[in-house]
Amino acid sequence: MDKMKMRTRRGIVKDKRGFTGLEAAIVLTAFIVVAAVFSYMVLGAGFFSTEKAKAVIHTGVEKATSSAEVTGDVIGHGWKYEGDPYYYSNHTADTTNLTVVEFQVELTAGQEPLDMNKVVLSYTDEDTYTSEITYRTDAGSGTNRGKFAMPGWNYTLATSEMGKPNMLDPNEKMTIIVALPDYGVTANKQFSIDFKPAKGGSITITKTAPGTIDKTMVLK
């Protein structure tokens, strides 16, 4: 009888199936928790990477896409430089050199207002490169319109004011007038003007001076 009790007692002591099931449940729960945390971290990292990628793409598109565009014709003038420093005058024709270029810009679709005071113009031809043409505030008006020292440029609002001053707003057009450096370009000579806003891609205007220089002409 005592032997039977001892066997039963030993059997109970050696039977650990209940503890094994509990431990398995704890381990399973731990795995689930760890997997959930890991999944959350992976998803969080994925969302973060996606947002960063979207931001980079958005910034790249914003920088590459022009915020403004040329509207209408690009006009050239054979205006004679005179005086000291050399001012060009729209009263006297220069039949040898194309000295002044004039064009209009407007915003492209969906773009935000553009600060004209932060625009930079540069000039290039086969002999000359000017990285930043000087902005001239004394551009004149009326019969002296555009009379300022070379090289230089100025802008005027060509439409009604739709927003803030000195800003190119939607439904507005700005007239840009540029006095070319180095007394302009001779007949049949190619040149480029880059219009570079602070935000968005630049506009490059590449033209060739016509064979005959007139006081005013449409550049092709």
Q: For residue 103, give every residue at least 6 positions away whose Cβ sits within 8 Å of its Cβ, in sequence order, or none.
A: 70, 72, 73, 74, 75, 175, 176, 205
The number of residues making up the chain comes to 220
Q: Which tens digits make up the pLDDT trace of 26-70? A: 777 777 877 777 777 777 776 666 665 555 454 444 444 558 999
Q: Which tens digits make up the pLDDT trace of 156-175? A: 999 998 889 999 999 999 99
User: For position 158, what pLDDT does the model report?
Assistant: 93
Three-state SS for 86?
coil
* Bridge partners (DSSP) listed for residue 89: 80
Q: Is 60 exceeded by the pLDDT of residue 144?
A: yes
